[in-house]
């Protein structure tokens, strides 16, 4: 009986790609998929951190490989999928996590910045999903597309117009993927994190603290945590564990959904 329950959460025969997997939330996702037994391809443009992440998973007894990939490059993305298939012979789980979020008010936003953000956060998601379609369909009921969006699609912040557009587009795109993949038994879902402490959010948190004239980021963080019903910022593992759950056989009937992993923050916004 207990073995049956464990099998529902076992990813031992799966192969996963996690974009932006070297740091922050992506690293939490890569580590948790590996924890459940998946072979994980860590795909990040930061080559050194990418190798370090794959090595640390391997050192901990998991199976991981680093492939450097810039999600704004169509040729990098094609090579990522080809190298994954060459190394492992299959690709079952794709996690589109890589994104950038440089703040800029719309009036000051350059066309180049808009294109850069949309290029990585939305076009990159399309390119990898398209490149992985054949493999996902072959994976059948083991196939999973999991896209990392943001609570920003529920409530916007000033300076995030490009980012919010990219994440809103990603959510709509994911629902289209869910429809196209359903006949193969493949699911496609979005995870929308709330407030997560990562290297990327560190910069945003620092900016917010400065804007409020309070150089003490910790105090600003603590004040923000009081708005979160569960009382704390998320860490990368919190998002990694939710992603792992969606990837497991137990989640085979969940598709086309946006799941907020936010400690209840959406309830107070
Ligand atoms: N941190 C938060 O509070 C928060 C909240 C909601 C949603 N998110 C989402 O979670 C995801 C991860 O965010 P994070 O805070 O961990 O970010 P981060 O900046 O800490 O880490 C992002 C990782 O992606 C990589 N990356 C960036 N651009 C890339 C590219 N073009 N190609 C390949 N790799 C690239 C970086 O090298 C880095 O390793 C993003 O999709 C973000 O929108 C984060």
CATH code for the domain of 76 = 3.40.50.720
Question: Among all residues, which ones are annotated catalytic?
Answer: 163
d(CA 193, ligand 1 centre) in Å: 11
Residue 199 pLDDT > 90: yes
Q: How many residues does the chain have?
A: 269
Q: Smallest Cα–Cα separation from 64: which of 31, 93, 98, 89?
A: 31
The confidence score (pLDDT) of residue 217 equals 82
The confidence score (pLDDT) of residue 253 equals 98
Instruction: Report yes or no on 41 lying in a domain.
Output: yes
Higher pLDDT among residues 83 and 208, named by residue: 83
Phi-psi category of residue 17: left, alpha or beta, with phi > 0 → left and psi -120 to 50 → alpha: beta
Instruction: Report yes or no on 219 lying in a domain.
Output: no
The confidence score (pLDDT) of residue 210 equals 79
Domain assignment of residue 55, given as a range? 2-194+234-268
Q: Calculate ∠ Cα 85-182-67, nearest 5°.
A: 25
If you take atom 37 of ligand 1, which residue's CA is the nearest one?
A: 46
What pLDDT digit, counting tens, does each position of 31-42 carry? 999 999 999 999
Mutate to test the pocket of ligand 1, among 21, 25, 238 (most ligand atoms within 8 A of CB): 25
Instruction: Report yes or no on 49 lying in a domain.
Output: yes
Instruction: Report yes or no on 250 lying in a domain.
Output: yes
CA-CA-CA-CA torsion for 207, 212, 216, 217, nearest 10 degrees?
-40
Residue 128 pLDDT > 80: yes
d(CA 29, ligand 1 centre) in Å: 11
Instruction: Report yes or no on 162 lying in a domain.
Output: yes
Tokens 């910069």 correspond to: 203
The confidence score (pLDDT) of residue 108 equals 97
Instruction: Report yes or no on 223 lying in a domain.
Output: no
For range 74-93, the mean pLDDT: 98
If you take atom 2 of ligand 1, which residue's CA is the nearest one?
A: 196
The confidence score (pLDDT) of residue 226 equals 94
Which ligand 1 atom is at minimum distance from the Cα of 46?
Answer: 37
The confidence score (pLDDT) of residue 269 equals 87
The confidence score (pLDDT) of residue 114 equals 98
Instruction: Report yes or no on 42 lying in a domain.
Output: yes
d(CA 145, ligand 1 centre) in Å: 17
Cβ contacts of 146 within 8 Å, gap of 6 or more? 93, 94, 95, 96, 188, 189, 190, 191, 243, 246, 247
**Ligand 1 within 6 A of 24 CB?**
yes
Report how many domains make up the chain: 1
Phi-psi category of residue 255: left, alpha or beta, with phi > 0 → left and psi -120 to 50 → alpha: beta
The confidence score (pLDDT) of residue 2 equals 87
Q: What is the DSSP letter of 140?
A: G
Which ligand 1 atom is at minimum distance from the Cα of 195?
Answer: 3
d(CA 265, ligand 1 centre) in Å: 20
Residue 119 pLDDT > 90: yes
What pLDDT digit, counting tens, does each position of 202-261 carry? 887 887 787 778 778 888 889 889 999 999 999 999 999 999 999 999 999 999 999 999
Instruction: Report yes or no on 205 lying in a domain.
Output: no
Pairing relationship of beta strands 258-261 and 187-193 according to DSSP bridges = parallel
The confidence score (pLDDT) of residue 166 equals 98
What pLDDT digit, counting tens, does each position of 182-194 carry? 999 999 999 999 9
Residue 25 pLDDT > 90: yes
């Amino acid at each position: 009986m207990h073995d049956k329950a464990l099998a529902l959460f076992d990813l031992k025969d799966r192969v996963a790609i996690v974009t932006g997997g070297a740091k922050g939330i992506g690293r939490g996702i890569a580590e948790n998929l590996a924890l459940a037994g998946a072979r994980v391809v860590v795909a990040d443009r930061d080559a050194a951190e990418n190798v370090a992440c794959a090595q640390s998973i391997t050192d901990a007894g998991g199976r991981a490989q680093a492939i450097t990939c810039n999600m704004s490059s169509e040729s990098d993305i094609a090579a990522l999928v080809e190298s994954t298939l060459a190394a492992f012979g299959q690709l079952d789980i794709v996690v589109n996590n890589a994104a950038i979020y440089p703040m800029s008010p719309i009036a000051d936003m350059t066309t180049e910045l808009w294109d850069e953000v949309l290029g990585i956060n939305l076009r990159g998601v399309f390119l990898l999903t398209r490149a992985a379609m054949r493999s996902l369909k072959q994976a059948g009921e083991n196939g999973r597309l999991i896209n990392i969006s943001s609570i920003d699609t529920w409530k916007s912040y000033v300076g995030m117009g490009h980012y919010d557009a990219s994440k809103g587009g990603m959510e709509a795109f994911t629902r289209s993927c869910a429809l196209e993949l359903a006949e193969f038994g493949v699911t496609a879902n979005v995870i929308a994190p709330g407030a997560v402490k990562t290297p990327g959010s560190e910069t945003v948190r620092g900016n917010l603290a400065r804007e409020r004239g309070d150089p003490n980021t910790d105090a600003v963080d603590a004040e923000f945590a009081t708005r979160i019903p569960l009382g704390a910022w998320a860490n990368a593992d919190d998002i990694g564990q939710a992603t792992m759950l969606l990837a497991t056989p137990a989640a085979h009937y969940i598709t086309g959904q946006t799941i907020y992993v936010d400690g209840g923050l959406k309830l107070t916004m």
